[in-house]
């Protein structure tokens, strides 16, 4: 029995942040030291990002002034404000709820032969806000899912969380061949942006963005010619170092990201070993990993674009070509790092490309721990 990702959809809020403009705004903030200004210029300049999206209309300095008092930014002066965690989370509860339903509905509409009444499980994912009843409840209510739909929420796991969500979805389908699992990830990272002289905060500010991804996972047979991704297997590894180098804490003024400059090096040193359990069941893949030829054994690589330096390290460690890393770099360029939703954008990009029937895909995502989550998939249709 094969379990597949079908109806894979992605969504972003309408407000666009151009990276050069955002860098200028952050560099001009009161209280930023000369060193802080240089760090902003460097971090934004080498990020590999051209544009990002945000739910915060106040950060669109070209738009009309809002009628209500500003919460995040004073557009007349350009000064960034410092709202508390409660204010940020209240915005999350409103904006995330809308994106969850939007992305979930799009995934169902893109899956031939599957309707809302067929959904047996809902798995929602996020690390950028909290509320209850949660997004799993909102999706079930607003889409009119069956009253007995089983619901799960994976919260505060970080950038790799979509991978265990897909793994859980596969396990549900293996336990019940008629299961239809709706997986939805929504991350509103820009709610936690702030001005600072701290290098980790500056790097996070240069990278993170808002977005949503959703997929229908099921063992039900797809329609003839329908493009989908078979989920072959998953693997997870915790690196022996790096626990303190990537962290996500709740502060008085939003969630505070620690993202040290050691993260790309740690990932680069351990990414090959992290693939060992994923490749263990197929001799050709094991041999390719041992000989350093994995890039030739697997055609496509959906690598979570946590940042340009992370992609550079993964590319070097696995000897990937520019073409193989192209989808990840394109998503980083056009959308930034949307935490857990980002790998779904890369997979969507691959399905929209010339990937051929039967070609293999390795998906990878990285997060606190340091944790490396990976999946092996096959393109169909």
User: The domain that contains 246 carries what CATH number?
Assistant: 3.40.47.10
Instruction: Check residue 110 and give its pLDDT.
Output: 97
Alpha helices in 145-293 (DSSP H): 162-175, 199-207, 263-274, 276-279, 283-291
Q: What is the pLDDT of residue 23?
A: 94
Q: Is 218 a member of any domain?
A: no
pLDDT per residue over 344-363, tens digit each?
A: 999 999 999 989 999 999 99
In this prediction, residue 7 carries a pLDDT of 96
Average pLDDT over residues 112-116: 97
pLDDT, residue 66, reads 66
Among 159, 172, 173, 189, the one annotated catalytic: 159
pLDDT in the model for residue 79: 87
Q: How confident is the model at residue 65 (pLDDT cuts 50, 70, 90)?
A: low
Confidence of residue 261 (pLDDT cuts 50, 70, 90): confident
Look at residue 75 and tell me if it is in a domain: no
Q: Which of 335, 348, 35 is nearest to 190 (CA)?
A: 335
At residue 215, the pLDDT reads 98
Sequence-distant (6+) residues with CB within 8 A of 350 are 300, 302, 327, 361, 379
| Whole-angstrom Cα Rg for the chain | 20
Spell out the alpha helix ranges (H) of 230-341: 263-274, 276-279, 283-291, 294-297, 308-318, 322-335
In the residue annotation, 159 being an active-site residue is answered as: yes
Task: Grade residue 1 by pLDDT with cuts at 50, 70 and 90.
Answer: confident
User: Please, which pLDDT band fits residue 148 given cuts at 50, 70 and 90?
Assistant: very high
pLDDT higher than 70, residue 53: yes
Q: Is 24 part of any domain?
A: no
Over the chain, what is the mean pLDDT?
Answer: 94
The domain containing residue 330 runs over which residues?
228-380
The pLDDT of residue 59 is 83
Q: Tell me: the pLDDT tens digits for 287-321?
A: 999 999 999 999 999 999 999 999 999 999 999 99
Name the pTM for this structure: 0.96
Residue 208 forms part of a structural domain: no
Residue 277 lies in a domain: yes
Residues contacting residue 122 through CB under 8 Å, at least 6 positions apart = 104, 136, 139, 140, 145, 149, 150, 151, 152, 181, 182, 184
Provide the domain count of the chain.
Answer: 1
Mean pLDDT over residues 113-132, rounded? 97
Complete DSSP assignment for 37-49: HHHHHHHHHTS--
Q: Are strands 246-251 and 254-259 parallel, antiparallel or unpaired?
A: antiparallel
> What pLDDT, on a 0 to 100 scale, did the predictor assign at position 16?
96
For residue 165, is pLDDT > 80?
Answer: yes
Q: Residue 168 has what pLDDT? A: 98
Contacts of 111 (CB under 8 A, 6+ apart): 6, 7, 216
Q: In this structure, is residue 300 part of a structural domain?
A: yes
Q: What is d(CA 187, CA 113) in angstroms, rounded to the nearest whole number? A: 29
Q: Is the pLDDT of residue 63 over 80?
A: no
List, for residues 197-255, the tens digit of each pLDDT value. 999 899 999 999 999 999 999 999 999 999 999 999 999 999 999 898 888 899 999 99
Tell me if 16 is assigned to some domain. Answer: no
Average pLDDT on 127-134 reads 97
Please check whether residue 209 lies inside any domain of the structure: no
Q: Quick count: other Cβ atoms within 10 Å of Cβ 176? A: 14
Which position has the higher pLDDT, 63 or 47? 47
Q: How confident is the model at residue 64 (pLDDT cuts 50, 70, 90)?
A: low
Q: What is the mean pLDDT of residues 159-184?
A: 98
């Amino acid at each position: 029995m094969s379990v597949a990702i079908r109806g894979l959809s992605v969504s972003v809020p309408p407000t666009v942040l151009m990276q050069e403009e955002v860098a200028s705004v952050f560099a001009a903030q009161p209280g930023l030291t000369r060193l802080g200004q240089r760090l902003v210029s460097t971090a934004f300049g080498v990020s590999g990002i051209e544009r990002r999206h945000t739910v915060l209309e106040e950060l669109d300095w070209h738009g009309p002034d809002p009628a209500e008092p500003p919460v995040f930014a004073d557009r007349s002066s350009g000064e960034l404000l410092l709202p508390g965690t409660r204010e940020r989370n209240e915005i999350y509860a409103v904006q995330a709820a809308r994106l969850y339903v939007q992305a979930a509905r799009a995934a169902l509409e893109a899956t031939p032969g599957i309707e809302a009444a067929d959904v047996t499980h809902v798995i929602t994912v996020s690390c950028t806000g909290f509320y209850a009843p949660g997004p799993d409840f909102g999706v079930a209510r607003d889409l009119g899912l069956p009253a007995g739909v089983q619901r799960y929420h994976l919260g505060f796991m970080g950038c790799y969380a979509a991978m265990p969500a897909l793994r859980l979805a596969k396990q549900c389908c293996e336990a019940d061949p008629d299961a239809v699992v709706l997986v939805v990830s929504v991350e509103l990272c820009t709610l936690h942006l702030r001005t600072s002289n701290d290098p980790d905060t500056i790097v996070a500010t240069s990278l993170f963005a808002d977005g949503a991804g959703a997929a229908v996972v099921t063992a039900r047979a797809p329609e003839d010619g329908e493009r989908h991704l078979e989920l072959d297997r998953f693997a997870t590894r915790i690196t022996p170092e790096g626990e303190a180098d990537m962290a996500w804490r709740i502060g008085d003024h939003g969630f505070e990201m620690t993202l040290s400059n050691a993260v790309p090096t740690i990932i680069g040193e351990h990414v090959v070993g992290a693939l060992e359990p994923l490749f263990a069941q197929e001799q050709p893949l094991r041999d390719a990993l041992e000989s350093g030829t994995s890039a030739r054994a697997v055609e496509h690589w959906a690598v979570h674009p946590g940042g340009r330096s992370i992609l550079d390290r993964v590319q070097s460690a696995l000897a990937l070509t520019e073409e193989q890393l192209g989808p990840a770099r394109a998503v980083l360029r056009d959308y930034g790092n949307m935490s857990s939703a980002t790998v779904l954008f890369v997979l969507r990009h691959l399905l929209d490309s010339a990937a051929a029937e039967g070609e293999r895909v390795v998906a990878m995502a990285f997060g606190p721990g340091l944790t490396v989550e990976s999946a092996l998939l096959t393109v169909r249709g």
